[in-house]
Amino acid sequence: MRKLLLCMMAGVLGGCDAPQSEDERAALLPPTPAQIIFAEEAMPVDANLAEKYDRSCRGCHSLVDAAAPLTGQGAVWRVRLAERGWDGLLRSTRNGFNAMPVNGYCNDCSDADMVGLIEFMSGETKP
């Protein structure tokens, strides 16, 4: 929030690289209470993905404090997808990305599983 306000203020002064898209602006906002509850409770419908999500991704991606993009907070995922594409996000998942561990702790996840998990968490569908 503070970053957004600072950016808006700086934008008025003409000195800020202000966020461009609706998603970029929304991604700077903290998750809403409804998004937090959704992230805490949501599970993939598919039993295979649900088992893998629960065992591997959920511990970080359902928690606001984990600094991981939150399951169901679409804008933060769309900004990442716009930057790196599906292949880039899959690569980050396989190789690890900053505090995101290699394979997200799911060493038996296939590429199709990973795409399904990212689709579930982002709410987006891989074309």
For the chain, how long is the longest CA-to-CA vector?
52
Contacts of 71 (CB under 8 A, 6+ apart): 38, 39, 42, 57, 58, 61, 62, 120, 121
Residue 124 contacts ligand HEC per CB under 6 A? no
Question: Structure tokens of 9?
Answer: 């203020």
Q: Which residue has the tokens 């599970």?
A: 43
Is residue 70 a contact point for ligand HEC (CB under 6 A)? Answer: no
Q: Is 19 in the site for ligand HEC (CB under 6 A)?
A: no
Please work out the total of residues on this chain that contact ligand HEC, with binding judged by CB under 6 A. Answer: 27
Q: Which of 93, 110, 123, 127 binds ligand HEC (CB under 6 A)?
A: 93
75 contributes a contact to ligand HEC by CB under 6 A:
no
C-alpha distances out from residue 22 to 72, 119, 126, Å: 17, 20, 21
Residue number of the CB atom closest to ligand HEC: 104
d(CA 81, CA 79) in angstroms, rounded, equals 5
Beta carbon of residue 54, minimum distance to ligand HEC (angstroms, whole number): 10
**Residue 106 within binding range of ligand HEC, rule CB under 6 A:** yes
Residues that bind ligand HEC (CB under 6 A): 56-57, 59-61, 66-69, 80, 84, 88-89, 92-93, 97-101, 104-106, 109, 114, 117-118
